[in-house]
Amino acid sequence: MSETLQYWALVFNSLSIISNRQTLNHRDHLSILECFNILTTVGNYSNAHISMPSLQLEFRYNPGCMIAFSGRIVRNEVHEVEGDWVAWAWYMRNSVHIYAGVPSCGWARVDCPP
């Protein structure tokens, strides 16, 4: 594993690729609580939306869209989409950190300059 980590250029240690399917209302129970999931979409589709029912939010999920949120805390779902689309879901798994001997990264945050 240590040899692989020398060449791993990403912050995230896990990836799911979703193609042409609806995702039901869920939370990502295995994701690290303090980290963001980042979802990215591409394709030839229309009328896509991602909902976050626990926050009572819904967003357009157009091609090229990127959304970041804590998948462990925020319930989310992608409704049925018209056309062809692919989404990359980047996230962190604590089990991978433990296995690789990498310390926890702490809470995700955005610092604003004064």
Residue 68 has pLDDT above 80, yes or no: yes
Virtual torsion, Cα 37, 54, 83, 46, nearest 10 deg: -100
Q: Locate 24 and state its tokens.
A: 């039901």
Domains delineated in the chain: 2-100 (2.60.120.1520)
* Confidence (pTM): 0.77
**Would you say 75 and 54 are in contact if contact means Cβ atoms under 8 Å apart?**
yes
Q: What is the reported pLDDT for 10?
A: 65
Q: What is the pLDDT of residues 82-101, one digit of tens each?
A: 899 999 998 888 777 777 77
